[in-house]
Amino acid sequence: MYRDEILPGTLYLLVLKTLARPDKMHGYEIANSMQRTSEDVLQVEEGSLYPALQRMFIKGWVTTKWGTTAGNRRARYYQLTAAGRKQLAVERSQFECVIGAITLVIEAV
Amino acid sequence: MLVNRRQFDVDLEEEMHLHLELRQQDQIESGMSADDAQAAARRRFGNVTSLRERSNLAWGWEWLEHLTQDLRFGLRILSKNLVVTFVIVLTLALGVGANTAIFGLVNGILLQRLPVPAPEQIAALVIQSGESSLGALGFSYLQFVEFREQTATICEVFGSATAWRLNFTAEGHSDTLTIGGVSSNYFSALGVKPALGRLVLPGEGEHPGEPAVVVLSYAFWQKRFGGDPQVIGKPARVGGKTATIVGVMEKEFRGQFSVFEMDAYAPLSTAFDESSASNFWNSRDMHLMLVLARLKPGVTLAQAQSRFDVVSRRLAAQYPLTDKDLKVRVMDERLSRPIPYANNAFIMFSGLFLILGALVLLLACTNIANILMARASVRRREMALRAALGGARSRLLRQMLTETLLTALLGGIAGVTLGASLSYLASSTHLSNIPVRLGFGFDWRVFVYALIVVIFTAISAGLSPALHATRADVNTVLHQGGRADASGKARHKVRGDLMAAQVAGSLTLLIVAGLFVRSLRAVERMDIGFDPNQLLNVTLDPSVDNYTRIQTNEFYRSLETKVRTLPGIQSVSLAASVPMGNTLGNQSVYVEGRPVPSGQRAPGAFFNNVDPPYFDTLRIRIILGRAFTDADSETAPLVAIVNETMARRFWPGEDPLGKRFSLISDAGPFVEIVGVARDGKYRILAEDPQPYFYVPLTQHFTSQRTLQIRSSMLPELLAPLVQHEIKALDASDPVEEIQTMKESLGGTLGYFIFRLGASLAAAMGLLGLLLAIVGVYGVVSYAATQRTQELGVRMALGASPRQILALLLRQGAQLVAAGLLFGLVGAWALTRVMSHMLVGVSPSDPLTYLSVAALLSFITLLACWIPARRATRIDPMVALRYE
């Protein structure tokens, strides 16, 4: 199963971080990139990427642009906006806060 | 943003498609077969439909889209199932209709504030009296003035004394009107405005003998004068006085009582003529004024109450004879309706009927839930399919509830229409002696109430079936083929519970109805002490013509003589008061040789002034002594006839004949008892035996008298003949009212309230019974259909029809029995509040409980038996193949 293998609520963070690299990406590339970077540990339900991307677009974190892929197919490319970068910092600090807390709990004697 | 949505959806589609293709390609490149690659790609991607929905959610507009989708779909479903829709709408219309009609009445009578500025400042003042169960009715004029003066710092006290039937003659035509005699500050304190002319002015009309004026109500002005503005300044005769019409009341204000409509208003000095003036203006025993107060801004009821307590104590000390136990309660004006009795039973009465209405609604809801439940089973497949295609459960639930709500709204609209017409019907009820005004209470509250009822119905009836339909496990349902479903035990139990609840609710309704009906029967069978059949009452007051006493007596004497010559007349007599109609005040009785100790009041009794044939005409038996005769003339010794209760209470263990008492003081003059009459009912039907006495009209003059005629002719046919005789004697036609004794007894003091209670409760009971029959029938026949296959197997294996019948009936009977048990308990609990509303029957009357339970069990078992019997007739072969 591919479902629920990332921590709930971290999808935004992962997508934002993936898009933080200078090159624009389309959905499939984002999914693959996340999977690769995490050395195949993080496998999102790939479809769930799209509602997330859409919400991020509505919130103004990403911009979109139609372009062509290497295989000469039409695809929608996503790019981080300034607001998106700010959000990335926010999500990241929240995530670290939670992880720190969890670590404290599980390492407590 | 919505405009771009379509484009966005297309884009999303393309994006997802690309993703799937790229993934598939990658998989093929890593060595998978094309088919496997496609499946793997889809698996990794997830449910496309539900993802698309989730993506749509991001826009925040989905509720609107869903709603329009749901409504469109709902309408389609409803129009495809017209019969089901119709049954639901009809059931709900009955439930909502009954509820809105009752709520409309309660709203009109209890909830709407007076149509005056700042109505929340208006409080009602009632005298709390231990003497009568209703509390004393009002204030004496003197008390009123004292309270008005001594509480002026915190509020303005104002009040009115209603003249229920006063003769009003204008432009040569006379009517009998209900006229509010109002204190001079009445209108200024209320803050109402005239539609025309002026109202009663501050300071006007609180001294007997002032020039008489009258203000017409808007409705009467329209009806009688066609809304003619020239009416201002015209003369009219009001209760024998020449008065000037000075104004017309604004349309919205119809008097201070929510139930009784005033035809006109006049200052106190106009409404109460001098002949009764000495009593009204100076006696502390004439409690005629109903009193309200406008509290100054910021003054609470509690503050006002403590101020009134202080004044009450002061008055009690000042007038120990009359005001010793004086206690005034200050209450929200609305709680004092319809008439400011201290112990207002109306609130409980309305509460009871609202509960009955809720029960009817509950029965309707149960039926609707049953229908929806049956439909939900049918639609499980549809729901499972939609879930498999990615429909979220919440979305499916919402859709089913929207459908229910849509149906409920239709039912609600039909129900409000029904309720409004019922209310209208009730409001056009004509009551003989009092202008009752019902059912005008249709305002936003009623609509909000109906809306709440509808939403409650939709959710309570629709939620469980919707949950059930959408709970379907996709796999199980879709694999069942065409079979409706393996009916779960749990759901059978729900249906069974609903059926038992219906029987219980219906039983409660029927028991309440039964009690009211039995109470009405008891009242109608009650010995009222006289024979009301074949009696015509004609109330006259020739004082309109400024007759002297001698002329008045002469007029009545010749009228009696004339009427006796009419065909079929058996007996004709005159009396000042009619039982359960217009009654005279309480009279202090001073027994000779038994002086009233100082500081105490003389005991009181009600009385009537009658002529010698009176006891014959009304068929009141004289059980001791004699009736009055012509020898008891003005100059003869004063005599009286007392009733049994008076004889027993005032002269216990003694022979009352020859005993004497005075109506004035311990010192006399005394009247001598010459006879004892049988007890009867005098003021209200529900009263306990009251001391009562009769005095001859010759010795105690009144101008207003009622001619009572017993004839072998129908009294209705006699009326025009009598009227003709009166016109021949006196062209000005001093008739105030003609009605048969039976009609008169149907009035508010007579059978009216009992008939109203009984017919309302009976209507609700029948409605409840109808709904319960439909419900029980529906549940049993549905259960039988569901079990067709099982029954077929049983029959194929040799079960006889009798055994099948017993099987189905046993189940039904168990539920009915459980329902009856709960219903009996529920009815017992509910009827505790009814003890003051019933006469001659206890709220736990076992006969009513048992006979109603027996009737209901018979009817419901019949409703079980019919579908059960049908189930036994099925052909086993057909049943086995039954899908």
Dump the DSSP string for B293-310.
Answer: EEEPTT--HHHHHHHHHH
pLDDT in tens, B317-344: 888 777 777 788 888 888 777 666 555 6
Whether the predicted interface score ipTM is above 0.85? no
Q: How far is A103 from chain B (nearest CA, A)?
A: 31
Integer angstrom CA distances of residue B564 from B561, B568, B739: 5, 9, 18
Is pLDDT above 80 for B668? no
Residues of A in contact with B23 (CB under 8 A): 28, 46
| Per-range mean pLDDT, top range of A27-31, B70-74, B126-130, B341-345 | A27-31
Whole-number Å distance between alpha carbons of B138 and B131 = 13
Nearest to A58 among B19, B46, B58 (CB): B58
* Residue located via tokens 């019949």: B862
Instruction: Please state the φ and ψ torsions of residue B540, each to the nearest 5 degrees.
Output: -130, 155
Whole-number Å distance between alpha carbons of B541 and B682 = 22
Least confident stretch, B51-65, B68-82, B509-523, B646-660: B51-65
- Put simply, the answer to whether A51 touches B57 (Cβ < 8 Å) is yes
First-last CA distance in chain B = 50
Q: How far is B478 from chain A (nearest CA, A)?
A: 24
pLDDT in tens, B419-464: 878 777 766 655 544 555 555 556 778 788 888 888 888 887 788 7
Is pLDDT above 90 for B640? yes
User: Which tokens is A91 given?
Assistant: 């999500």
- Put simply, the answer to whether A48 touches B51 (Cβ < 8 Å) is yes
- Put simply, the answer to whether B43 touches A73 (Cβ < 8 Å) is no
Give residue B491's pLDDT band: very low, low, confident or very high (50, 70, 90): low
Q: Looking at this protein, which amino acid is placed at residue A67?
A: G
- Put simply, the answer to whether B58 touches A55 (Cβ < 8 Å) is yes
User: How far, rounded to the nearest angstrom, does the alpha carbon of residue B831 sit from its chain's CA centroid?
Assistant: 17
Whole-number Å distance between alpha carbons of B461 and B403 = 12
Instruction: Give me the percent of chain B exceeding a pLDDT of 70.
Output: 89
Pairing relation of β-strands B639-643 and B173-182?
A: unpaired
Residues of A in contact with B10 (CB under 8 A): none
Give residue B380's pLDDT band: very low, low, confident or very high (50, 70, 90): confident
- Percentages (nearest 5) of helix, strand, coil residues in chain B: 55, 15, 30
Q: Looking at this protein, which amino acid is placed at residue B370?
A: N
Q: Which residue of B has its CA nearest to A27?
A: B19
Question: Are the CB atoms for B83 and B335 separated by under 8 Å?
Answer: no
User: Which tokens is B321 given?
Assistant: 């004879």
CA angle B110, B362, B70 (to 5 degrees): 105
Give residue B651's pLDDT band: very low, low, confident or very high (50, 70, 90): very high
Integer angstrom CA distances of residue B426 from A80, B44, B254, B338: 72, 69, 18, 16
Nearest to B737 by CA among B582, B613, B530, B566: B582
User: Which tokens is B294 given?
Assistant: 């406008």
Q: Which residue of B has its CA nearest to A67?
A: B15
- What average pLDDT does range B88-103 have in this prediction? 85
A interface with B, Cβ–Cβ < 8 A, is 2-3, 26-28, 31, 43, 45-48, 50-51, 54-55, 58, 69, 73-76
* B249 DSSP 8-state letter: E
Q: What is the pTM of this model?
A: 0.68
Is pLDDT above 50 for B484? no
Tell me, what's the pLDDT at B375? 76
* Residue among A1, A54, A56, A62 with most chain B CBs within 10 A, to mutate: A54
Whole-number Å distance between alpha carbons of B192 and B422 = 31
The 10 Å Cβ neighbour count of residue B599 is 8
Residues of A in contact with B43 (CB under 8 A): 2
pLDDT in tens, B104-124: 777 777 777 788 888 888 888
Least confident stretch, B81-95, B465-479, B624-638, B685-699: B465-479
Whole-number Å distance between alpha carbons of B230 and B117 = 29
Q: CB-based contacts of B532: which residues, under 8 Å, 6+ apart?
A: B741, B742, B745
User: Which tokens is B36 given?
Assistant: 């496997």
- Put simply, the answer to whether A73 touches B45 (Cβ < 8 Å) is no
Pairing relation of β-strands B569-575 and B705-711?
A: antiparallel
Integer angstrom CA distances of residue B464 from B368, B470, B488: 11, 10, 14
Give residue B489's pLDDT band: very low, low, confident or very high (50, 70, 90): low
Residues of B in contact with A46 (CB under 8 A): 19, 23, 44-46
- What average pLDDT does range B250-259 have in this prediction? 77
Whole-number Å distance between alpha carbons of B49 and B59 = 16
* A65 DSSP 8-state letter: E
Dump the DSSP string for B132-176.
Answer: STT----B-HHHHHHHHHHTTTTEEEEEEEEEEEEEEEETTEEEE
Give residue B133's pLDDT band: very low, low, confident or very high (50, 70, 90): very low
B459 in contact with chain A, both atoms CB, cutoff 8 A: no
The 10 Å Cβ neighbour count of residue B746 is 17
Tell me, what's the pLDDT at B488? 56
Nearest to B263 by CA among B235, B293, B225, B210: B225
Question: Are the CB atoms for B780 and B867 separated by under 8 Å?
Answer: yes
Is pLDDT above 90 for B140? no
Helical packing angle, B346-388 and B82-106, nearest 10°: 150
Question: Are the CB atoms for B754 and B523 separated by under 8 Å?
Answer: yes
Whole-number Å distance between alpha carbons of A11 and B222 = 76
Residues of B in contact with A69 (CB under 8 A): 18
Instruction: Please state the φ and ψ torsions of residue B558, each to the nearest 5 degrees.
Output: -70, -30
Pairing relation of β-strands B569-575 and B535-540?
A: unpaired
Tell me, what's the pLDDT at B550? 86
Whole-number Å distance between alpha carbons of A70 and B155 = 90
B16 in contact with chain A, both atoms CB, cutoff 8 A: yes
Q: How far is B3 from chain A (nearest CA, A)?
A: 15
Whole-number Å distance between alpha carbons of B852 and B325 = 46
pLDDT in tens, A38-82: 877 776 778 888 888 888 888 889 988 888 887 888 888 998 899
Nearest to A46 among B14, B44, B59 (CB): B44
Tell me, what's the pLDDT at B777? 84
pLDDT in tens, B351-378: 888 888 888 888 888 888 888 877 777 7
Nearest to B535 by CA among B497, B502, B581: B581
Helices (H), A9-81: 11-19, 27-37, 49-59
pLDDT in tens, B816-851: 899 999 999 989 988 888 877 787 888 888 888 999
User: Which tokens is B77 given?
Assistant: 């479903």
Tell me, what's the pLDDT at B480? 59
How many helices (H) and strands (E) chain A has is answered by 4, 3
Tell me, what's the pLDDT at B822? 92
Question: Are the CB atoms for B228 and B219 separated by under 8 Å?
Answer: no
Residues of A in contact with B59 (CB under 8 A): 58
Question: Are the CB atoms for B566 and B699 separated by under 8 Å?
Answer: no
Q: Looking at this protein, which amino acid is placed at residue B492?
A: H
